[in-house]
Amino acid sequence: MSDYDNAIFRLATAQEAELEDYIGEDGLLYCASCRQPKEAYFPEGKTFFGRDRHPKECDCQRKRRETLEASHREYKHREEVERLKRKGFTDPAMREWTFENDNGKCPQMHKAHAYVECWEEMKAGNIGYLLWGMVGTGKSYFAGCIANALMEK
Ligand SMILES: [Zn+2]
């Protein structure tokens, strides 16, 4: 968002001054908590709908917004991980096939970790793993650990 768009957005969502806020020497409203201005003049003395200033975030408002945005991003990420796991796993038990739940008995598991850590490279080079072994040796589990870790990413 440009500064101008941001200013317009803030005009549209202007908040009331909080009780302890004060007017500074420059005539702008200041936050009582962080002592940063909650308004700014339009550049070069311009006005917009008769106003010479627009609301501006003080440090506390910015921190509040950033916290909210971070929790929204985290929520969207969890939602996407959930969608991938619902779509990707036929058996819900596979969700438990993770590095965290690994009992450490598979001597090759470090290769699964390496695959996940180098995922971008593996994907770009179209590099996969060929797993072989007797029934019950943990091939599906190995693959499940990789899948879970990649979905979490
Ligand atoms: Zn503040």
Higher per-residue confidence, 12 vs 89: 89
Burial bucket for residue 144 (CB in 10 Å: 0-12, 13-18, 19+): buried
Give 147 Cα–ligand 1 centroid separation in angstroms.
Answer: 44
Mean pLDDT of 75-85: 96
Choice among 29-33, 69-73, 76-80, 133-137 with the minimum mean pLDDT: 133-137
Least confident of 5-14, 20-29, 42-51, 120-129: 5-14
pTM: 0.67
Choose between 73 and 137: higher pLDDT: 73
**What's the gap in Å between 87 CA and the centre of ligand 1?**
44
Span from the CA of 59 to the centroid of ligand 1 (angstroms): 5
Domain boundary assignment for the chain: 3-64, 90-152
Confidence (pLDDT) at 52 = 96
Confidence at 18, pLDDT banded by 50, 70, 90 = confident
Distance in angstroms (rounded) separating the CA atoms of residues 77 and 49: 40
User: What is the structure's pLDDT at 17?
Assistant: 66
Cα 77 to Cα 83: distance, rounded to the nearest angstrom: 10
CA of 21 to the centre of ligand 1 (A): 9
Per residue in 27-47, pLDDT (tens digit) is: 999 999 999 999 999 999 899
Is pLDDT at 1 greater than 60 in this prediction?
Answer: no
**Residue in the structure block whose two tokens are 């106003």:** 51
- CA-based nearest residue to 116, from 100, 93, 132: 100
CA gap 130, 133 in Å, rounded: 10
What's the 88 CA to ligand 1 centre distance in angstroms?
Answer: 45
Most confident of 12-21, 103-112, 142-151: 142-151
Coil vs helix vs strand at 88: helix
